[in-house]
Structure 1
Amino acid sequence: MSSTARTVAVWGAAPMPFGRSFRDQTLRMVVRPSASGSRARLRLSHLYGTGELTVGALSVAVEGARPRPVTVGGSPKAMLGPGREVLTDVLPVEVEGGRDLTVSLYLPDATGPTTHHRDAFATTHLSPPRSGDLTLAPGLDGFTEPGLRSWYVLAGLAVAPAGAEGTLVAFGDSITDGAHSTVDANRRWPDLLRPDGLAVVNAGIGGNRLLSDWTDPAGVRRFGRDVLGQPGVRTTVVLLGVNDLLGGREPEGTAVTAEELLEGYRQLARAARAARIRVVGCTLPPTRELDRARDAVRREVNGRLRAGGVFDAVADVDTALRDPRDTGRLHPAYDSGDGLHPNDAGMAALARSVAPHVRRCPGAGPAAPRGGRNNHVRDHVES
């Protein structure tokens, strides 16, 4: 992203491929900024597109107000080539932390598969085909298609100047993404963090693995894009590796070892420290889906993380979420029902386990200077 003084990311959604197609339809999406600021800009993403994408019109509305048009390069429309992202011009509204922002996009032409974030745990409203541009419609009367549960094309929101000194990026899989949390309630565990002086961006992707590509790049490959590429990032919290244990290494599905997972974490930590970003690791929570051998790997990894030397700090998510009577399972009060994903109460317990390690982020280096390396989108993490 382009940068001005103290540009800070205050919301984000990690881009993914294989989003649905649209034609002559308007999308209306709701996001909740984690910090306040002015001179806000949206990031639109066509990273996984194969043809040119036309965004025919855009608008934003602060909660309770009418939509207002947004331009890109002075134009009411945006043209995104394959693999490209663009920033809008400065939004005509002030962004307020904790106050919803509604973003509407009109897609006039057949889009083909869109870049999206599959699991938003928020409702996206959609108009029917051939309904035209409804970006300035004051209500939802024209949005008659069934509600969606993904964000499309929209990938980020940054402000400058900001009410926060920098950004904390939560990096992980479906647990970080918010799986099984209440839709439209913003109860994902990163939503519940209140680190002093830091905005929070959620870079979770459901199904993501630390070491292997699946439907999305492995954590060691997307860390540069989804963490280091965020403007103003100061701290990252890593909760990733359960899917490696569950699914093994792609494409063979061979079981991963504790040392392989730990070396993946070391790669992330080295990349973060090179960018002067503090990295907080999380122990891996229990799940009844792991057999005895793979759960033994999880326990070994957790013991070595607790011993230190990998991350700058460790949040003991395992201890916070496990059943003390059966430490290979989630506590019944925190289990959403599938034995893997925390419910809303579990999300709150997870956030409480992370919070002491991110309150003031001692030891974090200053944010990179204007136009510096934190704002360069990297393709992978070098080991």
Structure 2
Amino acid sequence: MIDYRLGEEYEALRKTVQDFARSEVAPVIGGYYEREEFPYDLVAGMGAMGLFGLPFPEEFGGMGGDYFALCLALEELARVDSSVAVTLEAGVSLGAMPIFRFGTREQQEHWLPALCSGEALAAFGLTEPGGGSDAGATRTTARLDDGHWVVNGSKSFITNSGTKLTRLITVTAVTGTRPDGGKEISTIILPSGTPGLTVAPRYSKVGWNASDTHELSFADCHVPAENLLGERGRGYAQFLSTLDEGRIAIAAIGVGLAQGCVDECVRYAGEREAFGHRIGEYQAIQFKIADMETRAHTARLAYYAAASKMLRGEPFKKEAAIAKLVSSNAAMDNARDATQIFGGYGFMNEFPVGRFYRDAKILEIGEGTSEIQRMLIARSLGVGAGAR
């Protein structure tokens, strides 16, 4: 029997995060967004709730939950604001998860307790100024010299990389040449404050204005050889695995944004009057909202299915790509329709749909563009170069 109902623990978590988002995030996030200010108090609140430790074992200070629990939390946060949601997503799936998945026991014990509590944040340094979707074109290098890695290069668009809570950045770097002549890519842990690590001023962004994003540069950054994360030469495989998981989390944020657009439009349609009637009485508005709800519902099923396969230990790359593609499309389409329903008010930043519209576009770009998702899906079907 197929049952899509959430279990009691999942539902309790979802409701708890929903209450937090509506009572704590919604009243203040507009101000943070306008000031382009990182919401330290909201992050502290999420930390106190255990959200940063949701998918990690209790032995490391986690909540003993799973990745789907994280996705439920992300969806509920994104129904109100995506900046807060992506701070949690990047802190967990891109920041702490690589340490948990690939780190030594010593690295896990050293870093994870603070990351799980939300007292510290970690960043994932993958994208480079000249790389974009071509992550294999990594130019950042790391060479061993007298028991230390010496890292040189730069990374761009790195979330959670410049906050007062940021403790480390995992950086992909070329560490040699493979037997086939290709680049040997490994992952190195760079603690914040490492000499030679420069955090550029925060970007001026179209959306996600209350999240933290910077360009990073490395000039002869020396860290111990023990800061290698995982096996040498496996960095490329590690970040592909990290991105597969992260796409499910980003899909959950997309669903949350899409559903948040529905929430706002249902409320507005019952309040706003035009030509002597509430606009919800007009079939054109009814149909538009019905389409929006359909998109959000369909996208939710897609990320539920991907998460289900992941938790069962089955291959889920295709399903993660589908979920990410469908949910980002739903978010963008719903944000556009919500702005249209709100009319002039939808163009004002004081209304949530204005922020939703600005936040939606990055979901079609971050953690793999929509074009990359289509390529992955096609290859999984045996179509195109590299198909299996």
Query: Does 1 or 2 have the higher relative contact order (CA < 8 Å, sep 6+)?
Result: 1
TM range (shorter): under 0.3
Structure number with larger C-alpha Rg = 2
TM-score by length of 1: 0.25
Q: Which has the higher strand share?
A: 1
TM-score (structure 2 length as normaliser): 0.24
